[in-house]
Amino acid sequence: MDADDETFAPITDEVGANGGDEQRSRRPIISGDHLDIEAYASLYSGRTKIMRLLFIADHSSDEKVGNPSMNLEALRMAYDEIKKGENTQLMREVAQKINGRLGPSYELDSAWCDAVDHRAEQKKEKLDNELNAYRTNLIKESIRMGYNDFGDFYYAHGQLGDAFKSYVRTRDYCTTSKHIVHMCMSVILVSIEMGQFTHVTSYVNKAEQAPDALDPITIAKLRCAAGLANLEAKKYKLAARKFLETNPELGSHYSEVIAPQDVATYGGLCALATFDRTELKSKVIDNLNFRNFLELVPEVRELINDFYSSHYASCLEYLGNLKANLLLDIHLHDHVETLYDQIRHKALIQYTLPFVSVDLSMMANAFKTTVAELQKELEALITDNQIQARIDSHNKILYARHADQRNATFQRVLETGREFDRDVRSMLLRSNLVKHDYNVRQLRKL
């Protein structure tokens, strides 16, 4: 390649400005404090509150989280929350996990379990008799309500499979759009708890087919459910779009599934990992509705702004501080590493784009890493064809491979000429065939 076609200019001082936070007045980084379990649990209600606490208890001893003291605190709060409900199976599981470590007050309360189970048998028998009577009288609305009550009963007692079946059975007895939406929301709730996200997607679509029965809060709930389903399927860009479309009217109305802080965190991280700069600006930073959610989680707001402003060290520091708590999130836990890798790779790619050459020492300083580690990351991105560049390992400089514009233009012109020549020859051939009345007619089928 000629020198005119590919110029390797020496690195300039402006490289340090692209990500080098030492050249600007830095905002204080919020310290990565341990998760305030009580404040966190207060954002949720119902079964998801208990399941999130149990998830924290199970994962708080992981090396990446490193806070075993959370275990007993989460189990204690889960025990207290279960006592407010009717799920004796969960009570037995939690009591077994506590194993007497919290004293006699948090041991298995057999009397409470027996009393709850006895009341449950009586209530189930009553609901069964009522449903049989409704079936005999063939009153559709009463039958629908009977199955719905059975679904609520099973859900309260932790029998999610039976709850799902009961809610689905109400479908045949729905007479209005509101009934259909109510059925869909109940099925979505149970499906999320069961981890059956294909059902979530299906019933979100079904509910959206009755727009006349959807109010802003219900629409926001459907967006969140669809976002969770796409997140679980690792369709991060679709998940980001759904969370970004969520209206602030959601508030705490869906606390049995998700908190508004989660919408900001899930949507923000998925957007950072998948959106380009234009989308990040228009759909996230300038999104007035989503801004209301971001205000609830300042760390996510700041890291998004830092990423867009090319202040990568600050952005990655925010991410590092948030990581331990994100690993304790029941929905995000399995995706944290993937999202973090994608965000870091995007930052590395975006850093190199404006420059013909980059000093790896300065770049490593901007990303708070060593030159050796940075070189490995860049090599992987170059091999994957995500960065068009080559590395001078001796001088520790990254050289961008800029396309030979002059040669590419000549090639396009030659290809256009060949296509024109081929088209003209085809036209001349056809005109000669017509001139000499040489037509090939299709033979008739006998």
297-317 pLDDT tens trace: 999 999 999 999 888 888 888
Q: What is the pLDDT of residue 396?
A: 82
Sorted by sequence, the CB contacts under 8 Å of residue 437 that are 6+ apart come out as: none
Asked if the model's pLDDT at residue 18 lies above 80, the reply is: no
Q: What is the pLDDT of residue 421?
A: 92
Give the sign of the dihedral formed by CA 425, CA 428, CA 432, CA 438. positive
| Angle formed by the axes of helices 260-274 and 336-352, nearest 10° | 50
Give the sign of the dihedral formed by CA 130, CA 135, CA 141, CA 146. positive
pLDDT digits (tens, 9 = 90+) for 172-203: 888 899 999 999 999 999 999 999 999 999 99
Q: Which CATH class is domain 355-426?
A: mainly alpha
Sorted by sequence, the CB contacts under 8 Å of residue 326 that are 6+ apart come out as: 265, 269, 332, 333, 336
Q: How far apart are CA 34 and CA 152, in angstroms?
A: 36
Kind of pairing between the strands at 389-392 and 357-359: unpaired
Q: What is the pLDDT of residue 220?
A: 94
- Compute the average pLDDT of residues 15-19: 42
Sorted by sequence, the CB contacts under 8 Å of residue 171 that are 6+ apart come out as: 180, 183
CA dihedral 318, 321, 327, 328 (to 10 degrees): -120
CB atoms within 10 A of CB 229: 25
Give the pLDDT band (50/70/90) at residue 29: very low
Q: Where are the domains of the chain?
A: 355-426
pLDDT digits (tens, 9 = 90+) for 361-417: 888 888 878 888 888 888 888 887 778 788 878 888 888 776 556 777 888 899 999
Asked if the model's pLDDT at residue 444 lies above 60, the reply is: no
More confidently predicted of 235 and 377: 235
Asked if the model's pLDDT at residue 339 lies above 90, the reply is: yes
> What does the mean pLDDT of the chain come to?
84
Q: What is the pLDDT of residue 21?
A: 42
Q: What are phi and psi of 397, to 5 degrees?
A: -130, 140
- Compute the average pLDDT of residues 113-127: 92
- Compute the average pLDDT of residues 104-111: 88
Q: What is the pLDDT of residue 26?
A: 39
Q: What is the pLDDT of residue 27?
A: 39
Give the pLDDT band (50/70/90) at residue 139: confident
Instruction: Determine the distance from the C-alpha atom of residue 299 to the mean position of all C-alpha atoms in its chain, rounded to a whole number.
Output: 17
Asked if the model's pLDDT at residue 335 lies above 60, the reply is: yes
Q: How far apart are CA 264 and CA 248, in angstroms?
A: 11
More confidently predicted of 140 and 269: 269
- In degrees, to the nearest 5, what angle opens at C-alpha 304 toward C-alphas 299 and 305? 100
Question: Range with the lowest mean pLDDT among 17-26, 189-198, 247-256?
Answer: 17-26
Asked if the model's pLDDT at residue 2 lies above 60, the reply is: no
Q: How far apart are CA 161 and CA 194, in angstroms?
A: 8
Q: How far apart are CA 318 and CA 32, in angstroms?
A: 9
- Compute the average pLDDT of residues 71-81: 91
Give the pLDDT band (50/70/90) at residue 166: very high
More confidently predicted of 28 and 314: 314
Give the pLDDT band (50/70/90) at residue 62: low
Asked if the model's pLDDT at residue 250 lies above 70, the reply is: yes
CB atoms within 10 A of CB 99: 10
